[in-house]
Structure 1
Amino acid sequence: MHPIAPPVTLPEQVAEQLRTRIAAGEFPIGSLLPGETELARQLQVSRNSVREALRSLVHAGLLGARAGYGTFVRATNDVAPTLARRLGQERDADVAEVRMLLEREGARLAALRRTPEQVDRLRHALAARTALIGRPGYDDADVAFHQALLDASGNALLAELYRGVGGNERALEALRDHVETGEGGEPAATDIDEAHGPIVEAVAAGDPDAAVSAAERMVRLINDRLGVATAAREGDR
């Protein structure tokens, strides 16, 4: 006899419905989900069921939760969260090399495929990121910039894999711990910050070679700051 599968609970049903809506694109990466009360009304369930479903999706890595902000979408499926957990066991140098490949290819494809709207989004994301250097909100602005770049590649799987290797979260460690100051003690842009601009200009100009070169320089600077030695291994290509 085959074992009888346990019944699916209401929170599990709610979680599956939300997975389906996220995968269908109703809630894009980075977007906020409706509040618990609104979701309970939409799905005709209790707030407790919604709360348990959201908690399970946060644990799975599809959603993120931030106090005072809300619950937001981190991934559209289980690929990125699963890969992120797997890569958490890998050497930093290996992860850095994979990130280099994804960042470089993302910039190249963005230069070939970007739309005028995506270029505008990139420029605005860069401006917002620059304005918040050394200030609250910088991490989110940096995430938004890289998300805009990978979205401009036109390859959803590439963007998902990029998030799966930690996206630019490791880079943020380097930037957060090495904030430089200018005149008057105000936060100043680092060489890593300044390396983002040439990527945008190369993408806007439709120059894939320049985009690749700019992306490589940015990632190398980040790896140097993190103390991750990948240059010699990349030279073996």
Structure 2
Amino acid sequence: MARLESNIPLAAQIAEQLRRRIASGEFPVGTKLPTEFQLAQDFGVSRNSVREGVRALVHTGMVRARAGDGTYVTAADALTPALRRRTTTERAVHVEEVRRLLEREGARLAALRATPEQRAALRDAQEARLAARSGAEYMAADLTFHHVLLEASGNPLLCDLYRGTGGIEESVHRVTPTDTTYERFAARRGELDAAHEAVVNAVETGDEEAAARAALHSVLLSEALPSVEPSAEPGADPVR
């Protein structure tokens, strides 16, 4: 049974303990929290106290209640949803500038700190990018590449900031064509692939300045790609 203090409101204590358990990975993002009944038994409190505690986490954006289904974890901390809310009201150019800074510094630190396992994972992600034969495969590999790169920085706060500002997700979703038009996109992405290869090479050799330059170059190239037109007429080329 979880231990609660007597001088702090129960709902606040429950919210804090659940926040810590989510942050520790006990309840990963995407998973469903135990039921109110199960949590009430765990904490030794009423279901009303659990409901209030969970509601506090809903307000932070860490969890989301689905009517008739349960409550799901949507973020590992309160920072990520707070930043996401801010980026939706901020000018796009300001968000892009922050992402460039984070990616560039993340790559520089990765060149200094990446473990052999992380270097291997980054190389594997790049190979998967090159081998992608559909929009879905390319998107998954590219997201993995950038997540591995930032994790290799060894700075968890930098990773949280990166995720909170949308990371590379928005860019990947914006420019990756559907599978029916992917071949035309793949034929034109050579410079982007080369920029990612330069990032991997710099991280593998520990060249922090080269890693920073290559990462910034890859982001700028991605930003320069035209958006996919979801309503394009059949046969139209969505990548101009």
Matches within 5 A, 1:116-195: 116-132=116-132, 134-136=134-136, 138-177=138-177, 181-182=182-183, 188=187, 190-191=189-190, 193-194=192-193, 195=195
- Cα deviation digits, residues 182-235 of structure 1 (max 9, x gap): 4xx7955724651322211111111112111111111111221258xxxxxxxx
Instruction: Provide the C-alpha distance between the structure 2 equivalents of 1:176 and 1:137, rounded to a whole number of angstroms.
Output: 10
Q: Which amino acid aligns with 1:145?
A: F
Instruction: Provide the C-alpha distance between the structure 2 equivalents of 1:219 and 1:92, rounded to a whole number of angstroms.
Output: 14
What percentage of residue pairs aligned between the two structures are identical? 45
RMSD: 4.0
> Is the Cα contact below 8 Å between 1:84 and 1:164 reproduced in 2?
yes
Uncovered stretches (5+) of structure 1, i.e. residues with no partner: 1-6, 66-70, 228-237
Q: Which amino acid aligns with 2:31?
A: L
* Alpha-carbon shift at residue 106 of structure 1 (Å): 0.5
Instruction: Provide the C-alpha distance between the structure 1 equivalents of 2:119 and 2:168, rounded to a whole number of angstroms.
Output: 20
Instruction: Provide the C-alpha distance between the structure 1 equivalents of 2:152 and 2:196, rounded to a whole number of angstroms.
Output: 15
Q: 1:164 to 1:34 in 2, by over 3 A?
A: closer
Q: Which amino acid aligns with 1:125?
A: A
* Alpha-carbon shift at residue 168 of structure 1 (Å): 0.8
> What residue is the counterpart of 2:102 in the other structure?
102
**How many pairs align?**
210
> Is the Cα contact below 8 Å between 1:134 and 1:176 reproduced in 2?
no
- Cα deviation digits, residues 77-121 of structure 1 (max 9, x gap): 211211121121111111111111111111001001111011012
Instruction: Provide the C-alpha distance between the structure 2 equivalents of 1:192 and 1:57, rounded to a whole number of angstroms.
Output: 43
Q: Greater CA radius of gyration, 1 or 2?
A: 2
Q: 1:223 to 1:136 in 2, by over 3 A?
A: closer
Matches within 5 A, 1:1-237: 16-23=16-23, 25-27=24-26, 33=31, 36=34, 40=38, 43=42, 60-62=60-62, 74-75=75-76, 77-132=77-132, 134-136=134-136, 138-177=138-177, 181-182=182-183, 188=187, 190-191=189-190, 193-194=192-193, 195-225=195-225
TM-score (norm 1): 0.68
Uncovered stretches (5+) of structure 2, i.e. residues with no partner: 1-8, 66-71, 228-240
Q: 1:140 to 1:84 in 2, by over 3 A?
A: same
